[in-house]
Chain A
Protein backbone atom coordinates (compact mmCIF):
# COMPACT_ATOMS: atom_id res chain seq x y z
CA UNK A 1 0.00 0.00 0.00
CA UNK A 2 2.66 2.41 1.03
CA UNK A 3 4.71 1.44 -1.96
CA UNK A 4 1.88 1.98 -4.41
CA UNK A 5 0.97 5.36 -2.96
CA UNK A 6 4.56 6.40 -3.27
CA UNK A 7 4.52 5.19 -6.84
CA UNK A 8 1.38 7.20 -7.61
CA UNK A 9 2.91 10.25 -6.01
CA UNK A 10 5.97 9.79 -8.15
CA UNK A 11 3.94 9.53 -11.35
CA UNK A 12 1.80 12.53 -10.41
CA UNK A 13 4.88 14.52 -9.57
CA UNK A 14 6.68 13.75 -12.80
CA UNK A 15 3.52 14.47 -14.75
CA UNK A 16 3.23 17.79 -12.95
CA UNK A 17 6.75 18.83 -13.89
CA UNK A 18 6.21 17.58 -17.42
CA UNK A 19 3.04 19.64 -17.73
CA UNK A 20 4.73 22.67 -16.22
CA UNK A 21 7.58 22.38 -18.67
CA UNK A 22 5.12 22.13 -21.56
CA UNK A 23 3.18 25.17 -20.40
CA UNK A 24 6.43 27.15 -20.11
CA UNK A 25 7.32 26.13 -23.64
CA UNK A 26 3.92 27.45 -24.69
CA UNK A 27 4.64 30.77 -22.95
CA UNK A 28 7.97 31.11 -24.74
CA UNK A 29 6.40 30.21 -28.07
CA UNK A 30 3.86 32.97 -27.51
CA UNK A 31 6.67 35.45 -26.80
CA UNK A 32 8.44 34.44 -30.02
CA UNK A 33 5.24 35.05 -31.93
CA UNK A 34 4.80 38.44 -30.26
CA UNK A 35 8.38 39.39 -31.09
CA UNK A 36 7.96 38.44 -34.74
CA UNK A 37 4.70 40.39 -34.99
CA UNK A 38 6.14 43.45 -33.21
CA UNK A 39 9.19 43.53 -35.49
CA UNK A 40 7.05 43.48 -38.63
CA UNK A 41 4.42 45.90 -37.21
CA UNK A 42 7.08 48.29 -35.82
CA UNK A 43 5.43 48.10 -32.40
CA UNK A 44 7.95 49.75 -30.08
CA UNK A 45 5.81 49.31 -26.95
CA UNK A 46 5.67 45.53 -27.35
CA UNK A 47 9.34 45.37 -28.33
CA UNK A 48 10.25 47.33 -25.23
CA UNK A 49 8.34 44.84 -23.04
CA UNK A 50 9.78 41.75 -24.73
CA UNK A 51 13.42 42.84 -24.71
CA UNK A 52 15.50 42.77 -21.54
CA UNK A 53 17.26 46.07 -20.88
CA UNK A 54 20.66 44.46 -21.45
CA UNK A 55 19.63 42.34 -24.44
CA UNK A 56 22.24 41.66 -27.12
CA UNK A 57 20.65 41.19 -30.54
CA UNK A 58 23.10 39.65 -32.99
CA UNK A 59 22.64 39.65 -36.75
CA UNK A 60 23.93 37.32 -39.49
CA UNK A 61 26.66 39.83 -40.43
CA UNK A 62 27.99 39.92 -36.86
CA UNK A 63 26.44 43.25 -35.88
CA UNK A 64 25.22 43.19 -32.28
CA UNK A 65 22.54 45.66 -31.29
CA UNK A 66 21.49 46.91 -27.87
CA UNK A 67 17.83 47.30 -26.96
CA UNK A 68 17.72 50.98 -27.93
CA UNK A 69 19.68 50.44 -31.15
CA UNK A 70 17.35 47.65 -32.27
CA UNK A 71 14.16 49.55 -31.47
CA UNK A 72 15.53 52.70 -33.13
CA UNK A 73 16.53 50.81 -36.27
CA UNK A 74 13.13 49.09 -36.53
CA UNK A 75 11.16 52.29 -35.90
CA UNK A 76 13.12 54.36 -38.42
CA UNK A 77 12.79 51.63 -41.03
CA UNK A 78 16.53 51.11 -41.34
CA UNK A 79 15.81 47.42 -40.77
CA UNK A 80 12.38 47.09 -42.24
CA UNK A 81 11.03 43.57 -41.68
CA UNK A 82 8.50 42.49 -44.29
CA UNK A 83 7.94 38.92 -43.16
CA UNK A 84 9.46 36.44 -40.73
CA UNK A 85 8.54 32.82 -41.33
CA UNK A 86 9.79 30.35 -38.74
CA UNK A 87 9.91 26.70 -39.71
CA UNK A 88 11.76 24.33 -37.37
CA UNK A 89 11.58 25.32 -33.71
CA UNK A 90 13.10 23.65 -30.66
CA UNK A 91 12.55 25.08 -27.17
CA UNK A 92 14.45 23.84 -24.13
CA UNK A 93 13.63 25.06 -20.63
CA UNK A 94 15.98 24.81 -17.72
CA UNK A 95 14.69 26.47 -14.56
CA UNK A 96 14.31 30.13 -15.58
CA UNK A 97 16.24 29.87 -18.82
CA UNK A 98 14.77 29.05 -22.21
CA UNK A 99 16.99 28.38 -25.18
CA UNK A 100 15.32 28.33 -28.58
CA UNK A 101 16.77 27.12 -31.85
CA UNK A 102 14.79 28.19 -34.87
CA UNK A 103 15.07 28.12 -38.64
CA UNK A 104 13.56 31.17 -40.24
CA UNK A 105 13.10 32.81 -43.61
CA UNK A 106 13.29 36.57 -43.21
CA UNK A 107 12.34 39.12 -45.85
CA UNK A 108 13.43 42.66 -45.11
CA UNK A 109 14.71 45.92 -46.50
CA UNK A 110 18.00 46.86 -44.93
CA UNK A 111 18.87 50.48 -45.68
CA UNK A 112 16.23 50.24 -48.42
CA UNK A 113 18.00 47.22 -49.94
CA UNK A 114 15.58 44.31 -50.29
CA UNK A 115 16.93 41.01 -49.01
CA UNK A 116 15.76 37.54 -48.20
CA UNK A 117 17.81 35.57 -45.71
CA UNK A 118 17.51 31.94 -44.65
CA UNK A 119 18.82 31.87 -41.12
CA UNK A 120 19.25 29.78 -38.03
CA UNK A 121 18.62 31.69 -34.84
CA UNK A 122 19.47 31.02 -31.21
CA UNK A 123 17.28 32.88 -28.71
CA UNK A 124 17.80 33.06 -24.95
CA UNK A 125 14.79 34.02 -22.85
CA UNK A 126 14.94 34.53 -19.10
CA UNK A 127 11.96 34.40 -16.76
CA UNK A 128 11.94 37.46 -14.51
CA UNK A 129 9.00 38.17 -12.19
CA UNK A 130 6.94 35.52 -13.99
CA UNK A 131 7.52 37.01 -17.41
CA UNK A 132 9.86 35.90 -20.17
CA UNK A 133 12.21 38.51 -21.61
CA UNK A 134 14.68 38.18 -24.46
CA UNK A 135 18.26 38.33 -23.17
CA UNK A 136 20.09 37.35 -26.34
CA UNK A 137 19.53 36.54 -29.98
CA UNK A 138 22.09 35.42 -32.51
CA UNK A 139 21.31 34.70 -36.13
CA UNK A 140 23.52 32.94 -38.62
CA UNK A 141 23.00 32.77 -42.36
CA UNK A 142 22.55 29.41 -44.07
CA UNK A 143 23.05 28.94 -47.78
Chain B
Protein backbone atom coordinates (compact mmCIF):
# COMPACT_ATOMS: atom_id res chain seq x y z
CA UNK B 1 0.00 0.00 0.00
CA UNK B 2 2.69 2.43 1.04
CA UNK B 3 4.82 1.46 -1.91
CA UNK B 4 2.07 2.02 -4.42
CA UNK B 5 1.40 5.38 -2.87
CA UNK B 6 5.04 6.34 -3.36
CA UNK B 7 4.92 5.15 -6.95
CA UNK B 8 1.76 7.13 -7.52
CA UNK B 9 3.37 10.20 -6.00
CA UNK B 10 6.41 9.70 -8.18
CA UNK B 11 4.28 9.41 -11.31
CA UNK B 12 2.33 12.49 -10.34
CA UNK B 13 5.40 14.61 -9.65
CA UNK B 14 7.13 13.51 -12.84
CA UNK B 15 3.96 14.44 -14.71
CA UNK B 16 4.28 17.95 -13.27
CA UNK B 17 7.92 18.18 -14.31
CA UNK B 18 6.99 16.87 -17.74
CA UNK B 19 4.18 19.43 -18.08
CA UNK B 20 6.57 22.23 -17.19
CA UNK B 21 9.17 21.20 -19.70
CA UNK B 22 6.44 20.87 -22.34
CA UNK B 23 5.51 24.52 -21.78
CA UNK B 24 9.13 25.58 -21.87
CA UNK B 25 9.63 23.65 -25.07
CA UNK B 26 6.64 25.33 -26.70
CA UNK B 27 7.76 28.77 -25.51
CA UNK B 28 11.31 28.25 -26.78
CA UNK B 29 10.06 27.04 -30.16
CA UNK B 30 7.62 29.94 -30.48
CA UNK B 31 10.30 32.44 -29.52
CA UNK B 32 12.52 31.11 -32.30
CA UNK B 33 9.59 31.00 -34.71
CA UNK B 34 8.66 34.61 -33.93
CA UNK B 35 12.25 35.79 -34.48
CA UNK B 36 12.59 33.74 -37.64
CA UNK B 37 9.31 35.14 -39.00
CA UNK B 38 9.95 38.80 -38.11
CA UNK B 39 13.53 38.81 -39.41
CA UNK B 40 13.21 36.11 -42.08
CA UNK B 41 10.09 34.75 -43.74
CA UNK B 42 7.87 37.76 -42.78
CA UNK B 43 4.89 35.43 -43.10
CA UNK B 44 1.65 37.10 -41.97
CA UNK B 45 -0.22 33.82 -41.37
CA UNK B 46 2.45 32.64 -38.92
CA UNK B 47 2.35 35.98 -37.07
CA UNK B 48 -1.43 35.76 -37.00
CA UNK B 49 -1.17 32.47 -35.12
CA UNK B 50 1.48 33.69 -32.69
CA UNK B 51 0.01 37.03 -31.58
CA UNK B 52 -2.72 37.54 -28.99
CA UNK B 53 -5.49 39.92 -30.04
CA UNK B 54 -4.34 42.72 -27.76
CA UNK B 55 -0.58 42.35 -28.23
CA UNK B 56 1.62 45.41 -27.85
CA UNK B 57 4.79 45.27 -29.90
CA UNK B 58 7.53 47.70 -28.87
CA UNK B 59 10.55 48.52 -31.00
CA UNK B 60 14.00 49.54 -29.77
CA UNK B 61 13.42 53.17 -30.78
CA UNK B 62 10.22 53.34 -28.73
CA UNK B 63 7.61 52.86 -31.43
CA UNK B 64 4.73 50.79 -30.06
CA UNK B 65 2.53 48.79 -32.43
CA UNK B 66 -0.81 47.03 -32.22
CA UNK B 67 -1.39 43.61 -33.73
CA UNK B 68 -2.51 44.98 -37.12
CA UNK B 69 0.31 47.51 -37.29
CA UNK B 70 2.90 44.90 -36.41
CA UNK B 71 1.76 42.35 -39.00
CA UNK B 72 1.55 45.05 -41.67
CA UNK B 73 4.94 46.45 -40.63
CA UNK B 74 6.67 43.08 -40.87
CA UNK B 75 5.15 42.10 -44.20
CA UNK B 76 6.04 45.52 -45.69
CA UNK B 77 9.58 45.54 -44.25
CA UNK B 78 12.00 45.74 -47.19
CA UNK B 79 15.14 45.11 -45.12
CA UNK B 80 16.91 41.80 -45.37
CA UNK B 81 18.47 40.32 -42.23
CA UNK B 82 21.60 38.19 -42.23
CA UNK B 83 23.75 36.60 -39.51
CA UNK B 84 20.70 36.46 -37.22
CA UNK B 85 21.42 34.94 -33.82
CA UNK B 86 19.15 34.27 -30.86
CA UNK B 87 20.99 33.50 -27.62
CA UNK B 88 20.69 33.37 -23.83
CA UNK B 89 17.00 32.47 -23.75
CA UNK B 90 15.62 32.63 -20.23
CA UNK B 91 12.05 31.64 -19.39
CA UNK B 92 10.18 32.76 -16.27
CA UNK B 93 6.83 31.03 -15.84
CA UNK B 94 4.01 31.79 -13.44
CA UNK B 95 0.80 29.87 -14.12
CA UNK B 96 -0.45 31.09 -17.47
CA UNK B 97 2.03 33.92 -17.83
CA UNK B 98 5.50 33.46 -19.26
CA UNK B 99 8.25 35.99 -19.62
CA UNK B 100 10.99 35.20 -22.09
CA UNK B 101 14.18 37.20 -22.25
CA UNK B 102 16.86 36.70 -24.86
CA UNK B 103 19.57 38.42 -26.88
CA UNK B 104 19.28 39.04 -30.60
CA UNK B 105 21.97 39.97 -33.06
CA UNK B 106 21.75 40.50 -36.83
CA UNK B 107 22.89 42.58 -39.74
CA UNK B 108 20.13 44.66 -41.24
CA UNK B 109 20.67 45.09 -44.97
CA UNK B 110 18.48 48.00 -45.98
CA UNK B 111 17.09 48.52 -49.46
CA UNK B 112 19.36 51.53 -50.01
CA UNK B 113 22.39 49.27 -49.57
CA UNK B 114 23.37 50.36 -46.05
CA UNK B 115 24.07 47.74 -43.41
CA UNK B 116 23.35 48.21 -39.71
CA UNK B 117 24.42 45.94 -36.86
CA UNK B 118 21.51 45.10 -34.59
CA UNK B 119 22.23 44.14 -31.00
CA UNK B 120 19.05 43.83 -28.97
CA UNK B 121 17.88 42.62 -25.60
CA UNK B 122 14.33 41.31 -25.97
CA UNK B 123 11.45 40.95 -23.54
CA UNK B 124 8.51 38.78 -24.58
CA UNK B 125 5.31 38.25 -22.61
CA UNK B 126 3.33 35.13 -23.45
CA UNK B 127 -0.10 34.21 -22.12
CA UNK B 128 -1.77 30.83 -22.26
CA UNK B 129 -5.02 31.23 -24.16
CA UNK B 130 -7.10 28.04 -24.44
CA UNK B 131 -3.94 26.00 -23.74
CA UNK B 132 -1.94 27.75 -26.48
CA UNK B 133 0.81 30.29 -25.74
CA UNK B 134 0.19 33.64 -27.48
CA UNK B 135 2.33 36.75 -27.53
CA UNK B 136 0.83 39.53 -25.42
CA UNK B 137 3.80 41.89 -25.35
CA UNK B 138 7.24 42.50 -26.78
CA UNK B 139 9.80 45.15 -26.00
CA UNK B 140 13.16 45.40 -27.72
CA UNK B 141 15.97 47.53 -26.36
CA UNK B 142 19.17 48.30 -28.22
CA UNK B 143 22.46 47.39 -26.57
CA UNK B 144 24.56 49.50 -28.93
Contact = CB atoms under 8 A, between A and B. Distances in A.
Contact of A62 (B61, B90, B137, B141): B141
Contact of B125 (A99, A141, A143): A99
A36 to B, nearest CB: 19
B141 A139 contact: yes
Given A124-B137, A126-B95, A141-B62, A94 B127 contact: yes
Which of A54, A90, A136 has most B Cβ within 10 Å? A136
Contacts of B140: 140
A31 to B, nearest CB: 15
Interface string B128-144: 01000000110111110
A124 B125 contact: yes
Interface of A is mostly: strand
Interface in A66-114: 90, 92, 94-97, 99, 101
A35 interface: no
A62 B92 contact: no
Interface residues of A, number: 30
B60 to A, nearest CB: 6
A61 B142 CA distance: 7
Interface string A25-59: 00000000000000000000000000010101010
Interface of B is mostly: strand
Interface in B57-80: 58, 60-62, 64
Q: Number of contact residues on B: which range applies? A: 20 to 34
Nearest to A60: B141
A138 B56 CA distance: 13
Given A56-B101, A120-B64, A122-B137, A96 B95 contact: yes
Contact of A64 (B61, B101, B127): B101
Nearest to B142: A62
B29 interface: no
Given A135-B94, A138-B139, A92 B99 contact: no
Given A122-B125, A140-B141, 9 more contacts: A60-B141, A101-B58, A122-B56, A122-B139, A124-B125, A140-B61, A140-B62, A140-B140, A141-B62
Interface of A: 52, 54, 56, 58, 60-62, 64, 90, 92, 94-97, 99, 101, 119-120, 122, 124, 126, 128, 135-136, 138-143
Interface of B: 52, 54, 56, 58, 60-62, 64, 90, 92, 94-97, 99, 101, 121, 123, 125, 127, 129, 136-137, 139-143
